Every structure is written in structure tokens, then in C-alpha cells.
Amino acid sequence: MKKLLLAIACVATFSASAQKFPGLALTPPMGWNSWNKFAGNINEALIRQTADAMATNGMLAAGYNYIVVDDCWEAMDRDQLGNIVADPKKFPSGMKALGDYLHAKGFKFGLHNCAGTKTCAGFPGGRGHEFQDALTYASWGVDFLKYDWCEHGTANSQETYKTMRDGLATAGRPIVFSLCEWGDTQPWLWARDIGHLWRTTGDIYNCFDCVFDHGTWKSFGVLQILDMQDGLREYAGPGHWNDPDMLEVGNGMPVNEERAHFSMWCLLAAPLITGNDMNHMSAETREILTNPEAIAVDQDALGIQGFKYSTNNNVEIWFKPLAGGSWAMCILNRNQEAKNVSFDWAGEKVTDNFAKRAANFSTTTYTLRDLWIKKETGTTKEVLSAKIPGHDVLLLRLDRK
Ligand code: GLA
């Protein structure tokens, strides 16, 4: 009897731990990550200054609460017991102290590591140390783990990420698990029970419409990444998001492109992880990143990713169903030059079979609110006519009248 109870207890403990933490990331995570702007040039002063800036410049108040330290925080070697350690020069106070600092300011603490033997920048990866590292991260107060895919050799992606999921569950601290597998083995098909978000593509590049060839790999502009999201919306939802990579807003694109990039990430219900310098941010960039009405589209409680409704002359019209019967609509002008757009609601019916929602404009009237100028601009009773500048958007919210 005793043995039987013990066996039942073991099975119960194991099955309880072998799942991702539930109830996390019910809306797409928001925050900041060091990689896009700083790459390997990171240290504890930068991370603290970033937190100080975000606590006072409106970013934390707007919802950006995860601060994620990406690659290059580690020492080149594990310690004698195989524990992962932070670079003592870059992070002399240690990661626990950094986590405490962030938590005291109201942030959550994120770290990067890799499922392979080494990170992409050559630091120790997690392979073979998953449970040990999970305990270390939990002891440092980590709340978010971005787990990369460099140097994975012949490892099976699903099994590898499952191992780390189980490590995190066993360590017992609720940690958002962010799979950074670049879409190589279609994580949207298998990661729903493993992580809370998964990258769908290779790395973003800081341009609106380009592909950057690094020789052995490529990174992609905003439009290229957008196009790669095709067909993936049905895999995302509360607690399990498609991740089209971090934002490049504030890293040098002109303001119209920043606005279009941000709007489309909101339409995609993408994680909003900023990647710019929080201590040198223009007023225009700050306005974009902290626009509460655009963020509300991204963070909508339904958690449904938007879809492309039509394409005409390289101008796309996207819709995203929102809670309460509302919709977001984004008209994206992919051309360099401005385009006149006319949309006659009476003849249009927007049907979303996945969300099981339809908007029939001949029977229901919606008010239109322009989310960038933050004004009501009419209703669906009149034909919508707009001139949309090149590489820009018109982002609207439709509420039933
Ligand atoms: C990969 C990831 C990036 C970043 C770098 C760090 O390229 O996709 O987001 O984490 O590694 O080396």
C-alpha cells in the first residue's frame, strides 16, 4: 500500500511538473530586450539605466514590464560544478541583485540562453544542463526565459524545448518560456504546451523592406517578416503566441515606417518587445511605443491575431476581431509613394471563420476611430476615402454604433 501511494505520488508530481506554467502571458508579453540595439555591449549599468528610464518615461506605465537581458551576459565558462555564471566584469553585482533591482522598480526580469551547446555569440548554452540552469534562473528571480537555437547539432527541437520546459516546471518558479527556434521546425505545430511564445522567423533586420544577407544566414525587414506570418494565426491565442521577433521601432527607421511596423505588430497580436535605447528615445518614437489605443489592439482580451482581408496595388487591408464585437482595421501602404484608398463598406463583408465573427456593414453601423490621430473620423455609413503616405498605415478601431 505504502509503495502504491508512493508510486501514485511520484506520477502525480511528475505530471504536475511536466507542463508549462499555466496562466502566464494571457496577452502578448510586453517589454524591452537588449539585443536589437546593444547586442554584446551590455552590462548591469545599462540594464539598470534602462529600467530607470522606462519607469519614468511612460514605458512601464504603458505595459512594457519585462526587461530581458539577451545574449552575452555570461562568463565564457561554467563553474566547477557546471553552474552557469554571469560575466563578473559586466555584471559585478550578479544576476540575483539585478533581478532584485528590476523587481523593486516594478519590472519582471528576463534572461536569454540557448537550447544548444553554445549561444549564437559563443557563450555556454543550456544543453545537458537544463534542470540545473532552471534552478539557477529561479534562484535569481528570473521571470522570462528566451531560449535560442544556435549550436543544436542534431538535437530534436521539440524534445529539447520540452526538456527545458520540464526543468522550469520542476524549479517551480513561474517563468514565461519564450522559444527562439526561428520557425525552423514549425514550432506553432508543437509548442503550444511547451512555451508561451515562439519565434516564427529568423531575425528581424532594422529596415522596412529588405533582406540582409550575412553569408550563412539572412535577417529580414518588417514587410518580409510580416509576409512570413501567413497561415499562422490559428495557432496563436492567450498563453501561446506567434512571435514575429522584437521591435525595431526607435532604431533609425523614419517615423512613418516605425508607425507601420508597430501597427502591424499590434494587428498580429505580437509580443511587443522593444529593442531601442531607452535613454535616447525621440518624442516621436515614444509616442508610437506608448500609444495606449494601438497597444489595446495588441493586448485585446480575445487574443486573436489579425488577418489580411484584401490586397490591391500593394495596399493591404487587415482586420483583427476585438472583444465586445469591435474590430481593428489597418490599411498598410507597402509602396514608397502615397496611395488613395477608397473602401465602400456597404459592399464589404468581413468574415473571420477562425474567430467565428463577421461584420456585415450593410446591417450594422460602426463608428471609426483613427488610433494615430486619436479622433473619431466617421462611420461605416459613408465610403472611407483616405490618402495613405508611402510605407505608412491608417489604423482604425470600429465600434458598433
Ligand atoms: C539569435 C536570436 C536573436 C538574438 C541572438 C543573440 O540570432 O534569434 O534574437 O537572441 O541570437 O545571439
pTM confidence score: 0.95
Q: How much is the pLDDT for 1?
A: 46
Q: Of all atoms in ligand 1, which is nearest to the CA of residue 180?
A: 8
Alpha-carbon distance 242 to 188, whole Å?
7
Mind listing the pLDDT tens digit for each residue in 166-198? 999 999 999 999 999 999 999 999 999 999 999
Is 143 designated active site?
no
User: Comparing C-alpha atoms, which of 401, 391, 390, 325 is closest to residue 364?
Assistant: 401
Q: Are 341 and 386 in contact (CB under 8 A)?
A: yes
Ligand 1 site-directed mutation target among 113, 118, 120, 247, most atoms within 8 Å of CB = 120
Helix (H) or strand (E) holding 263: helix 255-267
Transcribe 14-48 into DSSP letters: HHHHSSPPTTS-SS--EEEESHHHHTT---HHHHH
Dist. CA 346 → ligand 1 center (Å) = 46
Q: Catalytic residue, from 70, 71, 143, 148: name it.
A: 148
Q: How much is the pLDDT for 12?
A: 43
Q: Report the SS3 class of residue 60.
A: helix
Q: Are 299 and 64 in contact (CB under 8 A)?
A: no
How much is the CA Rg of the chain, to the nearest whole Å? 22
Dist. CA 192 → ligand 1 center (Å) = 21
Which residues approach ligand 1 with their CB closer than 6 A?
35, 70-71, 112, 119-121, 148, 180, 203
Alpha-carbon distance 243 to 275, whole Å?
14
Dist. CA 103 → ligand 1 center (Å) = 25
Q: Ligand 1, atom 11: nearest CA belongs to which residue?
A: 120
Q: Mean pLDDT for each 10-residue chunk of the chain (401 residues)?
A: 48 57 98 98 98 98 99 98 98 98 99 98 98 98 99 98 98 98 98 98 98 97 98 98 98 98 99 98 98 98 98 98 98 98 96 97 97 98 98 98 94
Instruction: Give start and end residues of each alpha helix (H) in 57-209.
Output: 59-62, 95-104, 130-140, 157-171
Q: Are 187 and 198 in contact (CB under 8 A)?
A: yes
The owner of cell 508561451 is 196
Helices and strands (DSSP H and E) totals, the chain: 11, 20
Cell output for 400: 458598433
Distances (CA, A) of 144 to 53, 74, 112, 194: 20, 16, 8, 14
Type of residue found at 144: F
Transcribe 346-387 into DSSP letters: GG-EEEETTTTEEEETTT--EEEEETTTTEEEEETTSPEEEE
- The set of residues, in sequence order, having a beta carbon less than 8 Å from that of 232 and lying 6+ positions away, is 188, 200, 242, 305
